[in-house]
Amino acid sequence: MFTKKGDAAVLAKLGEAPAPYGEIGQRLHELVRENAPSLEPILRWGLPFYVKDGTDICYIKTGKDFIAFGFGEALNPAYDDGAHMHPVVWNITSLDAATEAKVGGLIKKVVA
């Protein structure tokens, strides 16, 4: 497994995505760093991951027609007791203030 660490490596990878997904990915990276500065940004399997003590917390996956933001299943901030389905990943088509607030809140919840 090939791993690169740090903001520069993750931002460079996100910058490879086509518009508008590269810009959305870079803003998602900023949201992770603002809301959970203790998470370590790394590249693993070609994807930006954010880890704490060796545990995957969240990740960003870009493609030519999408960008996805997800959480590891072990620490899912969107888990809902009593529900039969639990979201772990969201396809993001754009970022507005409400979406940024939702993503930021999920990030804060999972590292709390």
85 or 29: which carries more pLDDT confidence?
29
pTM above 0.95, yes or no: no
CA Rg value for the chain:
13
Distance CA 61, CA 82 (A): 29
Say yes or no to pLDDT of 75 above 60.
yes
Average pLDDT on 92-103 reads 95
- Tokens standing for 34? 């603002």
What are φ and ψ of residue 35, in 5° steps? -95, -15
Domains annotated on the chain, with CATH: 3-111 (3.90.1150.200)
